[in-house]
Structure 1
Amino acid sequence: MPPHDHHNQQIRERKLSPAFKIAIVFSLVAMICIVISFASPNWLQHDSRFSQYQMKNLGLWEVCFKGFRHPHQTFDKVYNGCWWVFSRYYDELLDYIEKGFFIAVQVFMSLGFLLFFISMAMLIPVFLRLFDIDTEISVTLVMSGIMLISFFCHFMGLVIFGFRGKDSDWMPHWKWNYYSWSFGFGVVGALLQLTSAILFLVDCTGRKKFIFERKKEDIQFDLARKIQGSGV
């Protein structure tokens, strides 16, 4: 087998690095955490031990009330149960729920969620080794970049909610509201996502170094063969 073909085969058959394997595991766990956080209704909860709750729990897309009245409107409508934020039931309450900061949280988390799914879809052909090594590196770099942008979106959404979720002019009895497990899953998922993106970049660096060393060996071999052939 010619040296170039042999080295190309070595590059192609090189096993996945430990960094890549760990990044895959972290990415999958991060995706599970973010899906749970995105879909579950427990970003904010009320501790009923200290007051009679009117807001039971709240997620990105669902709010649960018990005996709640709009504090800024005169009609005596009482809200009970768990409903989708944009349901007709909450028409008169939408301006109260959908504060500017909460809309920003929903937008950032949705964009991050979409970008993370795109990056995970890009991971599949890389994991299955469907590309040549140069394409693999390029796809992995792009995937890592998208994952980092996704992390930034999740980070912004989580930070905004962390600072504003217990505002005194938002959900009732704010002193006894607390950040709950859905919010925690989002934090864990975002941190794992960031770690995964960094590990994928580390893997790309290792693969580039590996290719460079193989090509260097090819050049040295070709040079030695030419010198031997010229009889020097």
Structure 2
Amino acid sequence: MKKRSLAGNVAVGVFVIVLIFTTVAFCSPSWLVSDSRITGAKLERLGLWTHCFRSLGDPIDEHQRRFFVGCRWVYDPFTHGYDEIRGYLLPPFMIATQFFYTISFLFVLIAFIQVLLFFLCCGPDQGKYALLISLIGYCLIVAGISGGIAVIIFASLANGKGWMPDHQNTFLDWSFGMAVVGSFAAVIDAILFLTEAKIQKKKNANIKDSQAQFSMEESKA
């Protein structure tokens, strides 16, 4: 019996896109950036875990005696005063974005292990083959939905008034775009894997019917 159908082969190819886009979006610092033409912008760019500032005045110091410059991990324990503005850097909507996109990333990693088994190790002759494919599909559904929630929250609130300075000169950048594509592709890929699982279940059922019919004919003979 053929190991994979067309849906299965396409699903593996689409998964490569999901894995690359989700991983890069998760790690890269360009979800929100300032317009490069604005020379006096305080924000340079930010991602889920990294913030890059050109000259951000301490938002809790009304006298503006301290400024933050350069790129730092948002949980940086070494820069003096950075922990004091963490509440400003991570408002509730940003924490929600991190939470949902981390779930998306983790389920993509789980699916990656399963896809390796599906592509390299397992075959239709194994009893749990269709179940494995279904599990990949379910993991990707969770990844796609969680990623979708994360990008919707971020797009709705990250570029609004009241958070980062010069919000009128900032825009969503390529990391955010990769997160959107990765989440959408994960849902499409889930459909492909679930379709492949259905095809494999049907093939197994047809083989069992053929074997049963052959056994009945042999017994009659």
TM-score when scaled to structure 1? Answer: 0.87
Tell me by how many angstroms 1:220 deviates.
Answer: 2.2
- Further displaced range: 215-224 or 119-128: 215-224
What percent identity do the matched residue pairs reach? 28
Q: Is the 8 A contact 2:144 2:185 kept in 1?
A: no
Deviations 1:86-121 (A, max 9, x none): 113222221111100000111111121111101110
Match status 1:55 vs 2:43 = yes
1:6 matched residue in structure 2: none
Aligned 1:1-232 pairs, distance under 5 A: 10=1, 14-50=2-38, 52-75=40-63, 76-88=65-77, 89=79, 90-130=82-122, 132-227=125-220, 229=221
Q: Distance in 1 between matches of 2:45 and 2:94?
A: 15
- The alignment partner of 1:16 has SS state of coil
1:143-186 per-position Cα deviation (integer Å, ceiling 9, x unaligned): 21112112111111111101111120100111111000010111
Question: Which structure shows the higher helix fraction?
Answer: 1
Q: Tell me if the contact between 1:51 and 1:176 (Cα under 8 Å) persists in the aligned partners.
A: no
CA distance in 1, matches of 2:107, 2:121: 22
**Gapped regions of structure 2 (runs ≥ 5):** none
Residue 208 of structure 1: CA displacement?
Answer: 1.0
Runs (4+) of structure 1 exceeding 6 A deviation are none
Aligned residue type for 1:60: L
Q: In structure 2, how many angstroms separate the alpha carbons of the residues matched to 1:67 and 1:150?
A: 36
Q: Distance in 2 between matches of 1:201 and 1:130?
A: 16
Give the structure-2-normalised TM-score: 0.91
The CA deviation at 1:73 is 2.5
Residue pair 2:144, 2:182 contacting (<8 A) in 1 also: no
CA distance in 2, matches of 1:213, 1:109: 41
Task: Give the greater-gyration-radius structure (CA).
Answer: 1
Amino acid at match of 1:133: Q
CA apart distance, 1:49 = 2.7
Output the amino acid matched with 2:35. Answer: D
Does the 8 Å contact 2:97/2:150 carry over to 1?
A: yes
User: SS of the residue aligned with 1:67?
Assistant: strand
Task: Tell me the secondary structure at the aligned position of residue 71 of structure 2.
Answer: strand
Is the contact between residue 31 and residue 172 of structure 2 (CA under 8 Å) also seen in structure 1? yes
Comparing 214-223 with 193-202, which one deviates more in the overlay? 214-223
Which amino acid is the alignment partner of residue 54 of structure 2?
A: K
Structure 1, unaligned runs of 5 or more: 1-9
Compute the displacement of 1:15 (Å).
2.9
Backbone CA RMSD of aligned residues: 1.6
